[in-house]
Amino acid sequence: MAENENAPATKKDVAVVAKDVAAVAKDVAAVKKDLAALDTRLDVRMDGLSEQMRDMQTELLKAFLPWQEQVRIQFRELEVNTGNSVSTVKERMNILERRLWEIEKRLLMNPPAA
């Protein structure tokens, strides 16, 4: 371009700018093409990653299933044993209460000499 900013552009200046614009447009088109290819590759990778994550989730669930069944059996057994223990404790408390009642009854019938 001319040194003077106010000077009119020559055909040569316009041709240089048009050439630069065409080069930039070409570069932009190449970048768009590269981005489209990158987007496609990224979609493929994301699909593969999603599939791997689903597979891992399935494997984890399969691994925990036997453990969960075993824990359920243990909890059921513990529940049964706890129920038996509670009823056993209740029976023993009833026996102790009955014995204490008989002791109190004897003491009331035959109070100790003061």
pLDDT tens across the length of the chain (114 residues):
446 778 888 888 888 889 999 999 999 999 999 999 999 999 999 999 999 999 999 999 888 888 888 899 988 888 888 877 888 888 999 999 999 999 988 888 877 776
Element counts in the chain: helices (H) and strands (E): 1, 0
Cα within 13 Å of Cα(7), Cβ side: 8
Query: Do the Cβ atoms of 2 and 17 come closer than 8 Å?
Result: no
Residue-wise burial string across 6-33, b where 16 or more C-beta atoms lie within 10 A, e elsewhere? eeeeeeeeeeeeeeeeeeeeeeeeeeee
Tokens of 66: 């036997």
| pTM across the whole model | 0.43
